[in-house]
Structure 1
Amino acid sequence: MDEGRPIFQQIAERVENDILTGALSEEGQVPSTNEFALYYRINPATAGKGVNLLVEQGILYKRRGIGMFVAAGARERISARRREMFVLEYIAPMLAEAASLGITPHQISQLIEEETS
């Protein structure tokens, strides 16, 4: 676990990561809050808070009496949100810094090409 962020957010992110990698498939069942709590040695209420966060976002849904399941389209919703966050957290600041240094977008592309080849 990452000490810098709330545990419930880390649980939600791990479920999202499992959806993105295919470890959890759309319409597939996810572990219960009690299973999360046992595995991570945390309070079931904390695990439930992470799972409920994903329910609020439409990533998971509850089948009464059966458990939690991955919603159809969850993978694409997670990818789209993370792409937006990537732009806000990495691309926009990089472009601002590059502009202050006189580096053009074309030069940035060239630098990226050089670093990845």
Structure 2
Amino acid sequence: MKNKLDDNKPIFLQIKEQLEDSIINDNLKADERVPSTNEFAAFYKINPATAAKGINELVAEGILFKRRGVGMFVTNHAKELLIEKRKKTFVEHYILPLKEEAKKLNISEADLMNMMKGEQA
């Protein structure tokens, strides 16, 4: 868990993203238990319902599953689902705006590729 939360983003989203990052980075693997809502609440001194909101979104997305009386665990296909989701987000938030800006600046696709490789256009 990160030591500090960002005031500019909802806490439940930060908890969700933290868990997603831990899964993508293999800090949490399939069938591994994730911290409970109470553990998040105690660590960050927040309401357990706030932590639960982020965790419940991951359950709804098929990233986590509940073992009654034991806790929440990472699904077998969580990492693959998250990588696919992040790829789509990456294209939408970074690649498309980059291409649009390059077009406005009359930067050719070849020049853009060279820039991305660290070569000057």
TM-score when normalising by structure 2: 0.91
Map 1:1-117 onto structure 2 (within 5 A). Answer: 1-114=5-118
Aligned length: 115
Tell me, in whole angstroms, the C-alpha distance in 2 between the residues paired with 1:21 and 1:79: 10
Structure 2: tracts of 5 or more residues without a match: none
Tell me, in whole angstroms, the C-alpha distance in 2 between the residues paired with 1:101 and 1:71: 45
The 3-state SS of whatever aligns with 1:114 is coil
Shift of 1:5: 1.2
- Please identify runs of 4+ aligned residues in structure 1 that moved more than 6 A: none
Tell me, in whole angstroms, the C-alpha distance in 2 between the residues paired with 1:40 and 1:13: 15
- Give me the identity figure in percent: 47
Bigger proportion of residues as helix: 1
Cα distance per residue 1:31-61 (max 9 Å; x no partner): 1110111111110111111110110111000
Q: Which AA in structure 1 matches 2:107?
A: I
Shift of 1:96: 0.5
Cα distance per residue 1:10-31 (max 9 Å; x no partner): 0000011111111111111111
Tell me, in whole angstroms, the C-alpha distance in 2 between the residues paired with 1:45 and 1:62: 16
TM-score when normalising by structure 1: 0.94
- Name the Cα RMSD after superposition: 0.9
